[in-house]
Amino acid sequence: MMSPPFFIVGAERSGTTLLMLMLNAHSQLAIPYESFFITEIYPTLPDPENLGDLAQRQALLDRILSHRWIEHWNEEIRQEDIVLEECETYEKMVAAVFGCFARLKGKARWGDKTPAYTYRMDILNRLFPDCLFVHIIRDGRDVAGSLRRLWYAGQLVRGLEYWKDIVNLARQMGRMLPDSRYTEVRYEDLVHDPVQELRRLSSFLGLSYEAGMMDYDETSAQVVGNLAMRHHQNVLKKPDPKLCYQWKRGFSRGEKALADFFIGDRLQEFGYDLANDTPPFFSLYRYAYVCREGLLWRYKNLTNSRREKGSH
């Protein structure tokens, strides 16, 4: 009997890549950087339980292998490596593609790390009724602080609310599953005591812990590839506790109070302490801060729109 696949889910900038690399260093596990195609293609299929004749399956396989993210898997999956006669359902087609990737890596079992799948855990559960989910959670203030430096262009509140929504969704969906199929790990625990957490996660996946999982940094660059390295420089190193709770040093007093206001309930639910330091005239500060973010967001979208029009 084949071991079930597993999916690492969680908010962007929560340590999903770090966890993926650690698990990928296990002799039995193969996890590509990200995939995206599973839930993108699923809604477009007339019947995921019946992919039709070989010609139709071939067309779908062509579509998958030409997907923009498959190109970054650092392994060339050839069409002749997929036995189309065995791919009568979408589940089996996806498993065949990932299984081929695992074989090319000399591994027996595959998993996936695509944070965007957190929103579609229902589809993954429908496709793979025995699959496992590992939800990694990081302090939402550190997540929002990282996001505003990268993709949110200074949007702290937007990042805080994104974190709150996604961790809440993942936990709600996870609670609908038996404990044997859903587990959580805090980024801070993984960084401070990686061996203990990896032992626990290995057991959850039905595997024995391997000391080589702590040598993940030796192959990090080749696993994530050039596409992701500019956003994941820290994965070239061993876990660094200094990366935890950066908000304590990087947030102003007002920004700490904003985090308490917007996501304080969820922070406490996931075991994080609040700043509990509200500056004078905080209501006015909050109003001005949110207005400023809204203007910055509109300006960013307008600039991007003009840039796109100018490129055509």
For the cut 70, the answer to whether the pLDDT of residue 59 exceeds it is yes
Residue 27 CA to residue 68 CA, distance in Å, equals 28
Please tell me the predicted confidence (pLDDT) of residue 41: 97
Residue 177 CA to residue 181 CA, distance in Å, equals 6
**Joined tokens for residue 26:** 């296990």
- 6: β partners: 111, 132
User: Which one, of 22, 31, 203, 28, lies nearest residue 108 by Cα?
Assistant: 28
Residue 174 included in any domain: yes
Residue 177 included in any domain: yes
Residue 231 included in any domain: yes
For residue range 194-242, what is the model confidence (pLDDT) as tens digits? 999 999 999 999 999 999 999 988 877 667 665 555 555 666 678 889 8
Residue 252 included in any domain: no
Counting residues of the chain whose pLDDT is more than 90, the rounded percentage is 76
Domain holding 232, by residue range, is 6-244
Residue 259 included in any domain: no
Per-residue pLDDT, averaged over 15-34, amounts to 93
Please tell me the predicted confidence (pLDDT) of residue 309: 59
Determine the residue type at 43. P
* Domain total of the chain: 1
For residue range 153-189, what is the model confidence (pLDDT) as tens digits? 678 999 999 999 999 999 999 999 999 999 999 999 9
Q: Name the residue with higher pLDDT: 279 or 234.
A: 279
User: Which one, of 303, 256, 304, 251, lies nearest residue 279 by Cα?
Assistant: 256
For residue range 30-45, what is the model confidence (pLDDT) as tens digits? 999 899 999 999 999 9
Please tell me the predicted confidence (pLDDT) of residue 98: 96
Q: How confident is the model at residue 302 (pLDDT cuts 50, 70, 90)?
A: low
Q: Are 135 and 127 in contact (CB under 8 A)?
A: no
Residue 111 included in any domain: yes
For the cut 90, the answer to whether the pLDDT of residue 150 exceeds it is no
Residue 16 included in any domain: yes
Counting residues of the chain whose pLDDT is more than 70, the rounded percentage is 89
For the cut 80, the answer to whether the pLDDT of residue 8 exceeds it is yes
CATH code for the domain in which residue 15 is found:
3.40.50.300
Residue 38 included in any domain: yes
User: Which one, of 204, 213, 206, lies nearest residue 183 by Cα?
Assistant: 204
CA 137 remoteness from chain centre: 10
**Joined tokens for residue 69:** 């993210």
Output the average pLDDT for the chain. 90
Please tell me the predicted confidence (pLDDT) of residue 161: 95
